[in-house]
Amino acid sequence: MHGVECENVSRQPADAATEARLRELEAQVAALAQARRQPAGLTIIAFSNDMDRLLAAFMLANGAAAMGMRVSMFFTFWALVALKRKTVFQGKGPLEKLLTAMLPAGPHRLGPSQWNMLGLGRLFFDALMRRRRVENLHNLIALSRELNVRIVACETAMEVMAVTKAELVEGIQFGGVATCLDEAANGAVTLFI
């Protein structure tokens, strides 16, 4: 080559500070590569007790979980009734008993946001969903638990809505605003339904 000599370049021993910085950078690159391989997270904040909105929330959660995403659902206020398995009046004051009596007692009692028609809308949509082979809310909730969707009931909303832990399905977690915000901060997508 035109007077250019190729020299065999070998790595010269570096000082300890340079070696430490190099190891730190290699660790950061490895952590970033690992983070890119991790499936993104989905956080759903469920606020509504409308059957159709909760169906959408659980369909999204189950689809994301089936794709390998980390999924958390945070249930607050009206949405808590979707997690109810029974109604308990014992130990509640008069106002709490009134609220308990007025709230639907579980996912099978929830009506749609439109066309409820004094409860007939729920029956209409139940029949239509069976005909179209669309899972009902109760089955979607069971499926989400099988897919390891993290279900969290808001403890503050439980107090306000007079819902006790004994009324809710087993295997769920309890938390507050910090739990919800932590999940949302660590996820890629947050939905409010």
CATH of residue 54's domain is: 3.40.1260.10
In this prediction, residue 98 has a pLDDT band, given cuts at 50, 70 and 90, of: very high
Predicted local confidence at residue 134, as pLDDT: 94
* 113 falls within a domain: yes
Let me know if residue 21 belongs to a domain.
no
Look over the chain and give the mean of its residue pLDDT values, rounded to a whole number: 90
Q: 119 in the Ramachandran plot: left (φ > 0), alpha (ψ -120 to 50) or beta?
A: left
Task: Tell whether the model's pLDDT for residue 84 goes beyond 70.
Answer: yes
Q: How many domains does the chain have?
A: 1
Task: Taking residues 38-59, report their average pLDDT.
Answer: 93
> 148 is in which domain, residue-wise?
41-192
The pTM score is: 0.78
Please indicate, yes or no, if residue 58 is contained in any of the structural domains: yes
Closest by alpha carbon to 49, among 110, 124, 117? 110
pLDDT the model gives residue 35: 64
- Is residue 19 assigned to a domain? no
Tens of pLDDT, residue by residue over 2-34, are: 555 555 545 555 688 888 888 998 888 887 777
